[in-house]
Chains A and B, each alone.
Chain A
Amino acid sequence: MSRTGRSWRAALTALMVALAIVWLLPAVWVLVTSLKLTENIVRVPPEWIPWPATIEHYGEVLFSSSRTARIGRAFFNSIVVSLGSVALVVLASAMAAYPLARMRFRGRNLVFGLIVGSLMIPNAVILVPQYVLVQRLGWLSTYQGLIVPEAAMTFAFGVFLLRQFFLTIPSELEDAARIDGADPWQIFTRIVLPLSQPVLGALAIFAFRSAWNDFLWPLIAVNKPDMFPLPVALALLRGAYAAESYGPIMAGAVLSALPLLIVFLVANRRIVEGVRVSALKG
């Protein structure tokens, strides 16, 4: 690279880093507030360095007297529900998207249209009929009562995304396999799925985030405090009547964001490669 090229690059990097730091400032406030003593939290002029620092808010969120908040247990519940719903939705979406992309059959366009159309209805309206259904199945306050509806919520998006990707896989690969005598299931599992790992990873991340942060459905579908996932448990830190204690709330927010951040960093590469191929080829 030429010298001007290098200085361009350095200048651009510096600009981007500065922008990123400003971008992160609100998030920094979340972190900093979680480490401040309560009496130092609401101050004018705003203080960006928590000194003296304290971890009492984290202690309060994780260990304090509040038995109904049981954050550790809620964390575990969220992991189970999020992973469960990711597994279910990735599997179901992939299996549904493949014929929609690759096979001709009666009702194909209708099914695809229905699935995409379902994205256009707000969730709030599904809640109550879904609640009655889940209750009839005896699934209230159970893991399946959370996993299955969460998966259903992301299913349509998953099918949309995966169908796009499957359309981009060169059909020569599948044709060759068919000539060799492979049946559709074998083609799906041995050719299509391995090639789709990137976009499956992308879907997994989005499905995980959606299940992890959902509040409204678990609120009404869970009646045993033991089974509450993290967002519901953390809501207990909210003050009644809007008198918020920012320390514990922000500590809870940091703890809740960490798994998502870790998942993102680990799968970063996968997402980038995955969604690219799908969206690009249209």
Chain B
Amino acid sequence: MSKPTPSLSRRRFLGGAAFGAAALTLGSCSQSKPTITYWNGLTGADGKIMDGLIDQFTRETGIRMEQQRIVWADLYAKLQVSVPANEGPDLALIHTVEVPHFASDGILEAVPDATASGKGFKGEDYLPSTWQGGTYQDKRYAIPLDVPQHVLYVNVKVLKEAGLTGPDGKPKVPTTRDEVLAMAKQIAKGDTFGFAIGTTNPGRYTWGFHNLLWQNGANVYATDLKKSGLAEPAAIEVAEFWRSIQNQHKIAPPANANCRDAFIAGKLGLWIAGSWNFTGLRDAKVDFVAAPVPRMFKQPVVWTMPHQFTFPKKKAVDAAKRDAAWAHIRWMSDHVAEWTLKAGQVSALRKPHSDSRITGDPVLSVLLGQAGNWQSGQPTPKWVAAENITRPIIENVYIGQKPAAAAMDDLARQINALSD
């Protein structure tokens, strides 16, 4: 075996070292982009769209994102376990109503307004209900992204069979409660139902119940956020209506029906449900029309549950990763029109609302049109717990097991008894 001559190998070595050093300095510029961890609950079809957008973000900025997508309920449990153990992500997308209790538990980091506006996020760019939703006790904890909301789906085929379409084939669209009831009664025949609120288990659909409460000027808590407002007449009136649609008017399906499947199978005519359903309806090739949520009570309020970007607490904040997280929020906000077009969630930012691709889409334009009526949950840490104990009680009302006034009384009492 021959040995390389020392001088040759030294030159080679020096040359190699020089080249390596040059490569290192060049490489360190792109090497310095960190990888950030990002948790969200966008499972299903929306997740694939988000994946595409994140890929684009990585291509354009060099920042890689390690995503964990977990069904929302499990995501929140995991956050609660992981963040105190310093195993949380750099960035998390959560719902507005979760901000108060996570903030009060010290799971989220506060974002001073100065920092937010320094990064280019100003209140006036956003719709007020979304911008306010990211705060708790006058501190900001979140930057809004988009606005899942309720909308009225009208099944064209079902309405046609009930004789509720015009000569042009377009279905009649109800805008008040009386119209809804009248049309629903005409539709409800045999195994077809006229009207339902909720995706599955309409009896337990608290979000729908809240939507109706807000339309009647009632709410879970009184304005002081201390005592429950559910024993008030306005709330009881809503509960009476909740009870009536299955038992009295007989237009709504049983409490555990899958309304979405019923709508797809052509067994449900009018359906108030989340905007997140419409991509699935398109995939299932259902002939439907989207319309604004009708005014069932005093105001045509529309329930919303915006998504918000948040920074879970870490023992030590890595500045580079924090900057990268901000960069992603910036990028997503700049590209939120893409998100809207593909996933069907309209943005919290005002600017994309004038994008002609969005205003031209029949469903998206309806969602945008509701912006003036948006409302979301109250900023109390007990909101989610209150939602959870509401479910079985309104279900008992829906199936006629319990009278409305007594149920609301019971619920108000349970909500008042929620400890801190």
Partner-B contacts on A (CB < 8 A)? 38-39, 41-44, 64-68, 128, 131-132, 135, 140, 219-220, 223-225, 232, 235-245
Contact = CB atoms under 8 A, between A and B. Distances in A.
A68 B264 contact: no
B87 A239 contact: no
A235 B70 contact: yes
Interface stretch (B279-287, B322-330, B346-354, B380-388): B279-287
Most buried by B among A43, A225, A235, A239: A239
Interface stretch (B71-79, B131-139, B240-248): B71-79
Scoring B43, B66, B87, B191 by chain A CB atoms within 10 A of each residue's CB, the highest score goes to B43
A97 to B, nearest CB: 34
Contacts of B274: 241, 243
A-B complex: 7 closest residue pairs judged by Cβ atoms = A239-B44, A39-B285, A42-B264, A44-B265, A42-B261, A242-B199, A242-B200
A232 B266 CA distance: 33
B276 interface: yes
A225 B66 contact: yes
A242 B344 CA distance: 16
A68 B67 contact: yes
Given A64-B48, A236-B43, A238-B43, A243 B67 contact: no
Contacts of A67: 51, 67
Nearest to A226: B66
Contact of B280 (A232, A235, A239): A239
Nearest to B46: A240
B43 A237 contact: yes
A240 B265 contact: no
Q: How big is chain B's contact interface, by range?
A: 35 or more
Given A238-B44, A239-B43, A240-B46, A38 B266 contact: no
B69 interface: yes
A240 B85 CA distance: 27
Contacts of B191: 44
Nearest to B45: A245
B269 interface: no
Contact of A220 (B51, B66, B82, B148): B82
B52 interface: yes
B276 A225 contact: no
Nearest to A140: B87
Contacts of A232: 70
A39, A236, A238 — most chain B CB neighbours (10 Å): A236
Nearest to B52: A65
A80 to B, nearest CB: 20
Max chain B Cβ within 10 angstroms of own Cβ: one of A65, A225, A241, A244? A241
B47 A68 contact: yes
Contacts of A43: 265
A239 B67 CA distance: 17
Interface string B243-281: 000000000000000001100111100000010110010
A34 to B, nearest CB: 16
Interface centre among B44, B276, B285 (most CB of A within 10 A): B44
B374 to A, nearest CB: 18
Contacts of A66: 47-48, 51
21 contacts: A41-B284, A44-B267, A64-B48, A65-B52, A68-B68, A68-B69, A135-B87, A224-B66, A235-B71, A236-B44, A236-B47, A237-B44, A238-B44, A238-B71, A239-B45, A240-B44, A241-B72, A241-B199, A241-B276, A243-B276, A243-B277
A123 to B, nearest CB: 14
Contacts of B284: 38-39, 41-42
A68 B82 CA distance: 19
Contacts of B266: 44
A239 to B, nearest CB: 4
B208 to A, nearest CB: 12
Nearest to A128: B81
B47 A245 contact: no
Given A43-B265, A225-B66, A235 B43 contact: yes
A223 B199 contact: no
B344 to A, nearest CB: 11
A41 B280 CA distance: 12
A140 to B, nearest CB: 6
